[in-house]
């Protein structure tokens, strides 16, 4: 899960982490267009 302030920041992050790394064959992006929750806390159960 990645939280970035803008799509421009996301594009820069993916270029740096994924496109420049030969060990990454592919990746998927799912973008949330609606505000689903507020805050950065990710609930974990275990």
Q: How far is Cα 18 from Cα 43, in angstroms, rounded to an integer?
A: 26
Tell whether the model's pLDDT for residue 18 goes beyond 70. yes
The 3-state DSSP class for residue 1 equals coil
Could you tell me what percent of the chain has a pLDDT over 70? Answer: 93
Average pLDDT for residues 6-21, to the nearest whole number? Answer: 89
pTM of the predicted protein model: 0.56
Closest CA to 27 of 13, 41, 37, 40: 13
Domain residue ranges in the chain = 1-32
HEC assignment per residue over 2-46: CCCCCHHHHHHHHHHHHHCCCCCCCCCCCCCCCCCCCCCCCCCCC
3, 12 Cβ separation under 8 angstroms: no
Tell whether the model's pLDDT for residue 17 goes beyond 80. yes
């Amino acid at each position: 899960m990645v939280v970035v302030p803008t799509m421009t920041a996301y594009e820069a992050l993916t270029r740096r982490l994924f496109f420049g790394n030969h060990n990454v064959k592919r990746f998927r992006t799912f973008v949330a267009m609606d505000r689903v929750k507020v805050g950065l806390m990710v609930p974990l159960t275990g």
